[in-house]
Amino acid sequence: MKANNALYLKKNTRAQVGIGTLIIFIAMVLVAAVAAAVLIQTSGTLQQKAQSTGKQATQEVSSNLMVKTIEGVRAKTSATTMSETIDLLKLKVGLNVGSSPVDVNQVVISITDGTTANNLVYAGNQKSYASTGNDDGNMTPFSSSSASTNLGTLLTGTTTIGTAFNNSDHYYTVEKIRDEDASFSQSNPVMNTGDLITVYIATTSYTSAGAGYSYVGSTSVSGLKSSGMNLVPRTTVNIVLTPESGAATTADFVAPSSYGVKETVQLYP
């Protein structure tokens, strides 16, 4: 006889209830909330770091100095009695298109003639050479109003910060050429787009310092101080301008084979 096999589905309408189920539900909600909070916090931190990195990257590529020309000036007593070396460099410096403002007070200039290397800071910089915790690192004396006075002090003066040293191998000075918004000064040397300045770097040789020359360009001098440089003809010179942020600017040149009777010599470009 054939068996009668019937299938029956069991209907169960009961659900889990009670404190145990409630605890599990709350735990799942808490875990989801904590996970969401971690994700939100992480994404916020990443966004802030990305914005900061982007800002710094923009400054690195946009804050850029441009050396337009470099002239060399020989010390002299008269139009016919001149030094055999270049004793002062005049760099005409501007900003690249789209550059952010540059604080010249924080620009470090490195110069070498292949034998001597000097790292120079702005004459009004109070921190770089200062003793710890003090603001006495600027060139002595520094004028907050007169660029010509600072140039004379650069060429002939000394500064004592712990020990005495020549201004010519520690500092450089500047003078504005174009400053439409009148924002550039000796005490606040901040360059904006369109500004143009002259940077003075002393390269007085030991021979010139002892020769008793009376003038460097139109600046009357008495007692030139040696910078350690010796820019005789055919000297290869490397100059690097490093701002606080942004790319460093390099200018290289080789001095002419003879200075002849020229007081001012075009060196770059």
- Structure tokens belonging to residue 112: 């070498």
pLDDT at 110 over 60: yes
> Are the C-beta atoms of 198 and 177 separated by less than 8 Å?
yes
pLDDT at 213 over 60: yes
Same domain for 50 and 154, yes or no, is no
> Are the C-beta atoms of 213 and 223 separated by less than 8 Å?
no
Phi-psi region of 194 (alpha: psi -120 to 50; beta: other; left: phi over 0): left
Same domain for 152 and 27, yes or no, is no
- Residue 39 — very low, low, confident or very high, per pLDDT cuts 50/70/90? confident
Same domain for 79 and 199, yes or no, is yes
Same domain for 188 and 83, yes or no, is yes
Name the residue range of residue 39's domain.
17-62
DSSP code, position 232: -
pTM score above 0.85? no
Q: How many domains does the chain have?
A: 2
Same domain for 181 and 51, yes or no, is no
Phi–psi pair at 138, nearest 5 degrees: -80, 165
pLDDT at 8 over 70: no
Tell me, what's the pLDDT at 6? 64
Same domain for 177 and 197, yes or no, is yes
> Are the C-beta atoms of 86 and 72 separated by less than 8 Å?
yes
Tell me, what's the pLDDT at 15? 58
Q: Is 189 exposed, middle or buried (0-12, 13-18, 19+ CB in 10 A)?
A: buried
CA distance 86 to 117: 16
Phi–psi pair at 259, nearest 5 degrees: -90, -15
